[in-house]
A and B are shown apart, each in its own frame.
Chain A
């Protein structure tokens, strides 16, 4: 076994099935049951305990996704890569992602049958979530290649050693014993010295406890009876009160207790029925007494699989500001015109040997004799074929064929000189970029190898200009470009052949050979690129 190095500081871990990225082909209730069993494999071998919570802030969040899904490890469709998980840590640390394109099996089937056991893969991935790396021991759970699952699976010794090295072996007492009212009594009741005989109630012992009394009913639950004190044992009934019975969940765990006294999944429920209207045709909607007032508008409930989950907000351009201001010398200027010497840049590009800097709906042009007078002007004055009402551009670069590519939201506008090329704008997905990508941060042709690169958030892609698509083994993490961090504003190659990354009001010069910034501290952009006086543009505080 291999211990990666990171481990959880606490042993009572929480987990949840993501509310937004659930399996598209599986019943979420059965999926959760399988995931709980997979975690139990590790719980039985170590001091760890796992509690399911209804929150995406759990230590281990399990989600199902297809292809590119906002991390640097896109899935590849059915087969080959099945899942991955992150080592312990904050944020997405501990999270497990499963490829939703796989044919997941909730029940073990014959070996020759198609499909992948969710239990086997989940148990493996949770090993990563707890801090174990891959093991080269064939047969070990942490062996990287899928090996199927045996009917009576027990954690192999290699994995047991690994988890126990990190978190210690399981204690003899079960954790439920910590609940005061059900704590097993260590010493047996003793007889009194008085002549009267006392009868002592036998203490409750869990039916799986080695000291269980042979007469004790195995179905007896150790759960405390007060739902308000122990809400974890009394989960809210899903979709209450709109689903009075459970025909679709015949095997729903019937020992579960709900936080309402009259509720039990196996019983027939009598909910308030609407009072019928007698007019024909009905003139108004029936009145529903004793039903919560928001009916039929159900609030968002992540456990409700029939709920229409709120969709992601569409990407919206910043609202256009049209108000004008009068300056102290009486000149009226539009309020959204950026300050040349004190602004960040949306995009920077070297086009036809001149530097173009874009901000909001304006741009500056800097030639051999410096900044052109009268700038900034609207981008659409230079490129009138760009959409009317353009508020900004995300990225701009000059392609090797001298055409100018403008990235605006999820679309690419390609201009030949000043005119839009026929067939454009085209969606970013035409370039092989993922559907979920809302925008690019930057684009450039890297002088070092003449290849085109796209940047967005924490990722970057290498683009094949001949193929017209991003290369297959991308995206990769931005950490490759050491020192520039994530979410850059822009990048371009200047006439000196060097690469410059922009973020906020500063920039870094990049050393292409060493693949790191030449100076960790940012330099202010305005004095260098706009030739502004340093005292106006520069902040005294260091740029980091």
Chain B
């Protein structure tokens, strides 16, 4: 079966969210498989990730990949993740 849901939220958006720490990339090889059977589960994760990105970027938090989000995603930026995941997978906050 092929992925649905607007091609699993556009591969490039998902890739952006993974690269900058908004979506978990712990087991991408397994996740790629599971996604086809658990679209809903990943749908929620995806929305949360988009919201976190929007909050971090200081744009309106909608949970949708809207125009402002797309503009933010093409802006020049640092290559480090915004949400750092240590080896133990914890998020560090101040």
* Chain A residues with a Cβ under 8 A of chain B: 1-5, 73, 75, 79-85, 116, 121, 124-125, 128, 133-134, 136, 138, 144-146, 446, 448-449, 451, 462, 472-473, 476, 480, 512-513, 515
Contacts and interface: CB of A to CB of B under 8 A. Distances in A.
Interface of B: 15, 18-20, 25, 27-30, 32-33, 55-58, 72, 74-82, 84, 86, 92-94
A144 B82 contact: yes
Contact of B76 (A79, A136, A512): A79
26 contacts: A2-B93, A73-B79, A75-B79, A79-B76, A80-B74, A81-B77, A82-B78, A83-B78, A83-B79, A84-B79, A116-B76, A124-B78, A128-B80, A133-B80, A134-B80, A136-B55, A136-B57, A136-B82, A144-B56, A146-B75, A146-B76, A449-B33, A480-B28, A512-B30, A513-B30, A515-B29
Contact of A136 (B33, B58, B79, B86): B58
B24 to A, nearest CB: 12
B52 to A, nearest CB: 10
A1 B33 CA distance: 37
B29 A448 contact: yes
Nearest to A139: B58
Contacts of A462: 29
A147 B84 CA distance: 21
A82 B77 contact: yes
A412 B93 CA distance: 47
Contacts of A146: 75-78
Contact of B79 (A79, A82, A138, A512): A82
A75 B57 CA distance: 21
A144 B80 contact: yes
Contacts of B77: 80-82, 144-146
B32 A449 contact: yes
A80 B76 contact: yes
A5 B80 contact: no
B84 A133 contact: yes
Most chain A CB within 10 A, of B19, B79, B94, is at: B79
Nearest to A76: B79
Given A75-B79, A133-B80, A134-B78, A144 B29 contact: no
B33 to A, nearest CB: 5
Given A1-B94, A2-B92, A4-B92, A480 B27 contact: yes
A85 B15 CA distance: 20
Nearest to B30: A515
Given A80-B74, A145-B72, A449-B29, A134 B82 contact: yes
B27 A515 contact: yes
Contacts of A451: 29
Given A133-B80, A134-B78, A134-B80, A476 B33 contact: no
A83 B15 CA distance: 18
A84 B74 contact: no
B8 to A, nearest CB: 13
Given A80-B77, A81-B77, A146-B75, A5 B86 contact: yes
A145 B25 CA distance: 22
A480 to B, nearest CB: 7
Contacts of B74: 79-80
B56 A136 contact: yes
B18 to A, nearest CB: 7
